[in-house]
Structure 1
């Protein structure tokens, strides 16, 4: 992928970053002009970095536009979950439809139906694994997280077994490390509820970068 195309992808990501806050406000009580708080990093620079990272790592993959579209919805979901510990079903469903429809089209155009099967298997494995985690005694995993994990299993399965395994394990490693750090700093208590959605999305993105 040429440097000019990469720059273009990054610019598109920056524009997406500008759109994320107003879309997220439809699902939260975010102020019209939010303060520069913990959500400030979810802006154009981050969105541009997310898009650019995917383009560099998966530039030759016919599903790159699908990955970028899912990432755009994921940024909105991350903002909403950070703001109110909620993953709205309409946004999760939108990500799922984009992923399933886009990957189906990419598989047909590229003549690689096996990768579509891999995507479906990835969704099933990721969804089932998180259902089991949600049912464990004392689990704080919500079914919004389960649904998002199943959706993210689609692109992870498309990218292959290694990406799927990394995408299953890394979010919980990231989340666990964050929780331990916050507990050690006495910023939260053991009973404090923290969003898992951003970790699921970040882990999936990182898995796509290294696959």
Structure 2
């Protein structure tokens, strides 16, 4: 399969999925412990009834959450980069799914400083099984074992940071870190190390800009999830270069 087909299919697939994320992000971006939004934030109009109502637009027709084009662009860009870096390999769909999920998590974390368990935990539980299917087909069980160890290592290290006083991290960061560590562990230990280092490289300039613009103070809480996700993407690009 030629490179342009891989990049094009990855970008189009993630862009299409990214366009579906804003209503989901709108429902998830609520303060911790609060119920999901029952209506439109603009006019109070009710959401459609039914179990899938949280995926639908309010009856009033007002847009919910972030603009659709923004999540589509972000997911499409991430998918295109992953397609170009990894090529037509068996694990590419799993990394593309992670890219779409990462855009959703980043949007929610920026909005309300949460990485919701109802998204992270199912993904974390499914990853070992999905990668085991790939390992069964390709015979790469050594990569699967390294992925498992990588996820445990990143998760435990970030959990240790969470337990430090005034560290500014949450258990959501540790769970997302474990999910990213599993995926990057499949690619190699160098990817796992970069997954631990690059988020700090990404976060520091952002913090300095926000401080300089007086958008935050020295003691402000800043979400770390987006830096984790961007750092993981850069790690994939670095090891696949």
TM > 0.5 fold call: yes
Q: How does 1:164-179 map to 2 (within 5 A)?
A: 164-179=192-207
Describe the shift of the 1:109–1:84 C-alpha distance in structure 2 as closer, same or farther (beyond 3 A): same
Q: How does 1:177-196 map to 2 (within 5 A)?
A: 177-196=205-224
Name the count of aligned residue pairs. 209
The aligned counterpart of 1:198 is: 226
Q: In structure 1, what is the Cα distance between the partners aligned to 2:212 and 2:80?
A: 34
Q: Give the structure with higher Rg (CA).
A: 2
User: Contact 2:19–2:71 (CA<8 Å) still a contact in 1?
Assistant: yes
SS of the aligned residue for 1:25 comes to helix
Q: How does 1:121-160 map to 2 (within 5 A)?
A: 121-160=149-188
Q: In structure 1, what is the Cα distance between the partners aligned to 2:152 and 2:21?
A: 29
Higher helix share: 1
The aligned counterpart of 1:33 is: 63
User: Contact 1:66–1:98 (CA<8 Å) still a contact in 2?
Assistant: no
The match for 2:124 among 68, 83, 96 is 96
Residues 29-48 of structure 1 show CA distances to partners (whole Å, capped at 9, x for unaligned) of: 59552687xx7884212211
User: Contact 2:184–2:191 (CA<8 Å) still a contact in 1?
Assistant: yes
Describe the shift of the 1:42–1:132 C-alpha distance in structure 2 as closer, same or farther (beyond 3 A): farther
RMSD (CA atoms): 2.0
Post-superposition shift, 1:127? 0.8
User: Contact 2:147–2:183 (CA<8 Å) still a contact in 1?
Assistant: yes
Post-superposition shift, 1:160? 0.4
SS of the aligned residue for 1:72 comes to helix
Post-superposition shift, 1:139? 0.5
Question: Unaligned stretches of 5+ in structure 2?
Answer: 31-36, 42-61
Post-superposition shift, 1:61? 2.9
Post-superposition shift, 1:101? 2.1
Residues 38-96 of structure 1 show CA distances to partners (whole Å, capped at 9, x for unaligned) of: x7884212211100110111114321111111111111111111111101101001321
SS of the aligned residue for 1:43 comes to helix
Confirm whether residue 80 of structure 1 aligns to residue 81 of structure 2. no
Q: How does 1:111-130 map to 2 (within 5 A)?
A: 111-130=139-158
TM-score scaled by length of structure 2: 0.80
Question: Unaligned stretches of 5+ in structure 1?
Answer: none
SS of the aligned residue for 1:50 comes to helix
User: Contact 1:74–1:95 (CA<8 Å) still a contact in 2?
Assistant: no
